Amino acid sequence: MGEAVTELVVLFGGRSAEHEISCVTARHVIDAVDRSRYSLTLLGIDRDGVWHLADPDNGDLTATGPVIGASEALSARVGTGAVVLPLLHGPLGEDGTIQGLLEVVDVPYVGSSVLGSALAMDKAMAKVVVGAAGIAQAKHLVVTEGEVDVGAAAEEELVRQVDTALGFPCFVKPANMGSSVGVSRVEAPDDLIEAIRFALTYDRVIVIEEAISGRELEVAVLGGADPIVSVPGEIIPGDRFYSYADKYLDGRSRTLVPAELDPAVSDEIRDLALRSFRALRCEGLARCDFFLSDDGRGLLLNEVNTMPGFTPISMFPKMMEASGVPYPEIIERLITLAIERHATRRRRVDH
């Protein structure tokens, strides 16, 4: 008898501003799946949150096709041995929401669970957790929508506070967003409130960070209790910062894998990546982003991404491949981890 075929249920698309990136990620993962070992079911979530069955053999993957209910699509897989790959980026996908649905439905899925996904996605809360773990990071302030549009005097005070605590230039970011969506580099105080309002169109909480002069380094982490930590890679932005256009549209950024680092720095950043991964309760996979500052402060954690992109120019697969784990094996390991975690949780629930 031949080896049993496992059904992979790929979730992609989603309602966030990273919808298109999710579609591209899904396309590359699907192309790398061994069809002799896995059958594929594709569930595309369109920008309105409607779920559709999609065709895995459609080269231009989009979240269209016959409409299917979310509960119907997932509950039919309970107990069948199917594994869900939630290849969703940003809010309503990477932030613990889909993970919570999958936990309730009781199907195994790839990646961090509810807590790890939610913590890492929310930059403001992630900074609290990693700060408590003693991991160095850029100076920052957190602002909520209630602190803006409350009068000129309050806005002027906010500008003064940022100038004193962080200085200019600085970066303004939505707390819950990825792929540099909604991010602005603010060069002068007069531009700060406009950048804050722009970020607030994506989230009600924003993070304002000092601009770090230094190298942008990344590390991939893959696994569960004893994860693999990759060699570091380096991003050399083609823009003033590693923007959405720089990541996905212009192709002007450059990457170096492995990064040219002193061995002691390489060891340190890998240790910090593992500590960050564990502090935020990540599981399965994550890409940990750092700055190596020019001012003598050393390595500073920027953020941890629990569902990094798998596009041809994405760093996660590049760093893993440079560490001896080729693309198809990454997927195999993630599926195995999902099955093992689900079995362990079921035993504890049923105990």
User: CA-based angle 218:221:225, to the nearest 5?
Assistant: 155
Considering the domain delimited by 6-109, tell me its CATH architecture.
3-Layer(aba) Sandwich (3.40)
Fold of 120-137+213-325: D-amino Acid Aminotransferase; Chain A, domain 1 (3.30.470)
CATH 3.30.1490.20 domain extents, the chain? 140-210
Task: With H, G, I as helix, E, B as strand and everything else as coil, classify residue 292.
Answer: strand
pLDDT above 90 covers a percentage of the chain that reads 68
Confidence of residue 252 (pLDDT cuts 50, 70, 90): low
pLDDT digits (tens, 9 = 90+) for 104-122: 999 999 999 999 999 999 9
Cα(233)–Cα(260) distance, integer angstroms? 8
Residue for token pair 């939505």: 174
Residue 351 pLDDT > 60 = no
Q: Look at 75 and 341; give whichever has higher pLDDT.
A: 341
pLDDT of the residue at 111: 96
Positive/negative CA dihedral, 60, 32, 236, 20:
positive
pLDDT digits (tens, 9 = 90+) for 138-165: 999 999 988 877 678 888 999 999 999 9
Confidence of residue 3 (pLDDT cuts 50, 70, 90): low
235-241 mean pLDDT: 70
Amino acid at 231: V
pLDDT of the residue at 125: 96
- The secondary structure element, H or E, covering residue 174 is strand 170-174
Global model pTM greater than 0.85: yes
CATH 3.40.50.20 domain extents, the chain? 6-109
The per-residue pLDDT of the chain, averaged, comes to: 90
Fold of 140-210: Dna Ligase; domain 1 (3.30.1490)
